[in-house]
Chain A
Amino acid sequence: MNLLLEGVPRSALILLALFFAALIAAPMVLNDYLIVVLITILYFAYAGQCWNIMMGFAGQLSLGHALYIGLGAYVTAALYVKFGVSPWIGLLPALVIAGAVGAVIGFLAFRFGVSGVYFAILTIAFAEFARIGFDHFPWVGGAAGYFLPVANYTQNDFFNLRGSQTMFYYILLAMTVLAFVLCHLLLRSRAGYYWLAIRESPEAAEALGINIFRYKMYAVVLSAALTSLGGVIFAFFYNNLFPEQVFHISRSIELILGPIIGGIGTLFGPVVGAFLLTGLAEGLREVMLRLGIDLPGVKQVFYGICLLCVVMFLPEGVWPPLKKKLGLDRDTGKKGS
């Protein structure tokens, strides 16, 4: 507890507690549609937080995180549909497989000095391999898609992740909170310090005794494995998986917009970014619907505009200046919190 709270300003804790309480109460007052919007927000907040470990902390840009979402989704869905394995058990092999794939990518890149843009391209390449591979993988439906049985559930079957939106909402809320707390603790740990050092200057980090290969590998494997859990929820919430959608690069991009707009390398960035982006995009959709306008691709254009605005006017993202406004930046020994 000491480690968790030490140096965190009180005002921040109170705000956080209020925010959390509102999220817990939300399903009691919101309609189904708004709950789905919140689920989408939490999904992006969670996945963005996982991506942030790799890019925001360790400085390794992945543009292929849809790969890990897809692996988590397909592994648990296939185990459930074919063998009746509960996703809570299926997530273990999903974690291992996604982590292992992350390890392969990291190993290839970091052993052979692939970094920066080239590393990003490598991550895209692997996600594309997976997309094409699953397109031609008939065991899980190939390009025609893979479906989980859907029925009207009178009761939530928590063990098999079959049930109401509210159940998914609370599971995602728990995941997002846990990922947040984990990242907070990581930033205060040896690994956190080492990652930031590697991000800022790999040469200096190495000269200070840091095995940069090992710590970059830790970041990639952890980020990949945790991201796959987002895929588990994705599969069991939507109940259908198409390689062209799940592994598509636009999915990888969508996933990183939140942390970029919220603030790369900050704890709140992915959360703030997810609320802003999804909230505004849904609001926009609602307005268009009311006005009877139907323009395909409007969401993508909207994302593009958001990104442009942030890059031009708030290059650090929305959170750092917002934090200042809220008076939360007076903590001691601050480190991108």
Chain B
Amino acid sequence: MALLEVSGISKSFSGLKAVQNVSFEVPEGKIVGLIGPNGAGKTTCFNMIAGVYKPDTGTVMLNGARIDGRRPDEICKAGIGRTFQIVKPFAGLSVLDNVVVGALNAAASVSEARQKADEVLEILGLASKRLQAASTLTLPDRKRLEVARALATRPKLLLLDEVMAGLRPTEIDQMVRVLLDLNKRGLTILLIEHVMRAVMALSGNVIVLHHGELISRGTPDQIAKDPKVLECYLGEEAL
């Protein structure tokens, strides 16, 4: 049994089929990549897993228990942390307090949460900015804050939605190292990413969505050679 099992989920928005009958698994301890052109339905998949939308059809299982249709806070409590592609920092709060809010999910007290938050800020290289208001952060730092906050909830599975977008190559490598390290320590990751060098470096398996449908899956190398994928997606980028 995989940690996350997504079976036949679909979602339409007033007639527009954003996701159609998509199934995949994320085994415990692995990193799985989710790629596809813009509008393919990747974020919608995340939103169904994280409880923002109830799938029109299909089921989502975490550790063998159904979670589809549950509220986002219940799903977080069940062990899934997520970031938002369009970042949603608590703008008026300090960077530290942003992460403390996340850490309170698993911490018994505020002081324990502060400790955990400081650890996470250290990991993501935000420690020196901990007392700044989140509204003063640059976009790359906001992306890091998204990861920090989600990580602070102590998830079993982390959903990352384009957290490398806007990062410079050295920063991407840094983030890749951080994620690999976290993965080594037992964190399972499902990541949506356009930055192919990150997808290739991180993912054991990759899933490709196109027009809401799953069109291919396999190791990064297999995906990179799949004509269907090349046609709709990778072909656009200079690989």
Interface flags for B75-111 (1: CB within 8 Å of A; 0: not) read 0110001101000111111101100111011000010
Cβ A193 vs Cβ B89 within 8 A: no
**Total contacting residues, chain B, CB less than 8 A:** 31
List chain B positions with a Cβ less than 8 A from chain A.
Answer: 50, 52, 71-73, 76-77, 81-82, 84, 88-94, 96-97, 100-102, 104-105, 110, 113-114, 131, 149-150, 153
Cβ A206 vs Cβ B71 within 8 A: yes
Cβ A188 vs Cβ B110 within 8 A: yes
Cβ B105 vs Cβ A208 within 8 A: yes
Cβ A203 vs Cβ B84 within 8 A: yes
Question: A193: shortest Cβ distance to chain B, in Å?
Answer: 5
Give the contacting residue for A204; candidates B88, B94, B104; CB below 8 A: B88
- Residues of B with C-beta under 8 A to A205: 90, 101
- Residues of B with C-beta under 8 A to A193: 97, 100-101, 104, 110, 113
Question: B123: shortest Cβ distance to chain A, in Å?
Answer: 17
Cβ A333 vs Cβ B114 within 8 A: yes
Cβ B114 vs Cβ A200 within 8 A: no
Question: B39: shortest Cβ distance to chain A, in Å?
Answer: 21
What are 6 A-to-B residue pairs whose CB atoms are below 8 Å? A188-B110, A193-B97, A193-B110, A201-B88, A209-B104, A209-B153
Q: Is the interface of B mostly helix, strand, loop or mixed?
A: mixed
- Residues of B with C-beta under 8 A to A196: 90, 92-93, 97, 101
> What is the chain B residue whose CB lies nearest that of A205?
B101
List chain A positions with a Cβ less than 8 A from chain B.
Answer: 188-190, 193-194, 196-197, 199-201, 203-212, 265, 332-336
Q: A207-B72, A333-B114 are in contact. Are A197 and B82 (CB under 8 A)?
A: no
Cβ B104 vs Cβ A200 within 8 A: no
> What is the chain A residue whose CB lies nearest that of B100?
A193
Cβ A208 vs Cβ B91 within 8 A: no
Q: How far is the CA of A265 from the CA of B91 in the complex (A)?
A: 14
Q: A206-B71, A207-B72, A333-B97 are in contact. Are A200 and B84 (CB under 8 A)?
A: no
